[in-house]
């Protein structure tokens, strides 16, 4: 449904599906892509895949991250459109962090040079670390095009800590994940109708605190003949962020395609 409706970007990570299911998300996307092309008798894919490679402690040096990229290519059964560093390498010594980061970005550039990937992105970077990473990426022969961070009406720190300005200055497109705040901003839950699982504890704490915000969103939605979710997503888009929206079924897909 999404592809036929014109949505053609899908985000994943090599850590989505671990243990015996290593890289399961990438595997499923790759299988779907092949099956869709066969069904539609297409010679080229309509999908664009962005995947995130995790800076696990076991991945030391450029070669280890390069091999991780090739493993993702194998699971996706095609090249990667945006290869992203899932989070900054965090160690006790800043010099060690920067060494790991530089090695990882060298690996990404190598993937691009070999046509295994098209662009470089990062995830969960703040303004200071993003500036350093962009400088390092350029030194390694490429550049960073995207930065994926948590962003919503309940998590507006990218607007407050200078990250949005840094992205504009560096020519990096910010991408917001959790734009609906794990479902808190969908207006589909109440204290008597909580989601199942661990989210229920979160919703019990936060739903009473956002009643005034939800009232405003409901009023806007009613005047615009939209759903609350659509109003929320549009707010994020108007701030210059591309969005990663979790969609579980066609009903949700129809609602969230604005």
DSSP H or E stretch at residue 185: none
Please state the rounded mean pLDDT for residues 13-33.
89
DSSP H or E stretch at residue 102: helix 94-113
DSSP H or E stretch at residue 243: strand 242-244
Pick the residue with more confidence: 117 or 95?
Answer: 117
Look at residue 38 in the predicted model and tell me its pLDDT: 96
User: 22 falls in which pLDDT band (50, 70, 90)?
Assistant: confident
Q: Tokens for 185?
A: 């901003």
Q: Tokens for 217?
A: 């969103």
Q: Residue 258 pLDDT > 70, yes or no?
A: no
Q: Tokens for 68?
A: 């991780």
Pick the residue with more confidence: 108 or 19?
Answer: 108
Q: What is the DSSP string of 205-233?
A: HHGGGGHHHHHHHHHHHHHHT--HHHHHH
Q: Residue 228 pLDDT > 90, yes or no?
A: yes
Please state the rounded mean pLDDT for residues 130-146.
97
Q: Tokens for 135?
A: 């400088």
Distance CA 105, CA 141 (A): 9
Look at residue 15 in the predicted model and tell me its pLDDT: 93
Q: Residue 19 pLDDT > 80, yes or no?
A: no
In total, the chain counts a number of residues equal to 258
Q: Residue 92 pLDDT > 70, yes or no?
A: no
Question: Where does residue 117 fall: left (phi above 0), alpha (psi -120 to 50 degrees), or beta otherwise?
Answer: beta
User: 168 falls in which pLDDT band (50, 70, 90)?
Assistant: very high
Residues contacting 49, CB < 8 A, separation 6+: 10, 11, 12, 29, 33, 76, 78, 80, 81, 82
Look at residue 170 in the predicted model and tell me its pLDDT: 98
Please state the rounded mean pLDDT for residues 66-94.
93
Distance CA 79, CA 213 (A): 42
Question: How high is the mean pLDDT of the chain?
Answer: 94
Look at residue 96 in the predicted model and tell me its pLDDT: 84
Local structure of residue 234 (DSSP, 8 states): H
Q: What is the DSSP string of 35-94?
A: HHHHHHT-SS---EEEEEE---TT--HHHHHHHHHHHHHHHHTS-EEEEEESS----SSH
pTM of the complete model:
0.93
Pick the residue with more confidence: 102 or 20?
Answer: 102
Distance CA 158, CA 137 (A): 22
Active site residues: 16
DSSP H or E stretch at residue 177: strand 173-177
Distance CA 248, CA 201 (A): 22
Look at residue 257 in the predicted model and tell me its pLDDT: 73
Give φ, ψ of 137 to 5 degrees: -60, -40
Find the Cα–Cα–Cα–Cα dihedral 229, 51, 105, 163, rounded to 10°. Answer: 0
């Amino acid at each position: 449904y999404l592809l036929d409706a014109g949505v053609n970007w899908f985000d994943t990570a090599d850590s989505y599906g671990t243990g015996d299911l290593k890289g399961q998300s990438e595997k499923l996307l790759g299988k779907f892509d092949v099956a869709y092309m066969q069904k539609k008798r297409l010679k080229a894919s309509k999908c664009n895949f962005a995947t995130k490679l995790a800076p696990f402690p076991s991945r030391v040096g450029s070669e280890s991250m390069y091999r991780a990229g090739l493993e993702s290519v194998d699971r996706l059964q095609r090249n990667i459109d945006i290869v992203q560093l899932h989070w900054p390498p965090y160690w006790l010594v800043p010099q060690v962090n920067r060494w790991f980061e530089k090695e990882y970005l060298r690996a990404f550039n190598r993937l691009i040079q070999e046509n295994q990937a098209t662009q470089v992105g990062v995830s969960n970077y703040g303004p200071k670390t993003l500036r350093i990473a962009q400088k390092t990426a350029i030194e390694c022969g490429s550049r960073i095009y995207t930065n994926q961070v948590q962003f919503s009406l309940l998590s507006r720190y990218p607007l407050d800590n200078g990250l949005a300005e840094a992205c504009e200055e560096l020519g990096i497109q910010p991408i917001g994940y959790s734009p609906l705040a794990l479902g808190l901003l969908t207006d589909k839950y109440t204290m008597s109708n909580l989601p199942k699982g661990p989210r229920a504890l979160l919703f019990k704490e936060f739903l009473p605190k956002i009643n005034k915000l939800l009232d405003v969103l409901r009023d806007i939605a009613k005047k615009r003949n939209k759903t609350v979710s659509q109003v929320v997503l549009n707010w994020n888009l108007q701030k210059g962020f591309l969005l990663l929206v979790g969609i579980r079924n066609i009903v949700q897909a129809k609602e969230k395609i604005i």
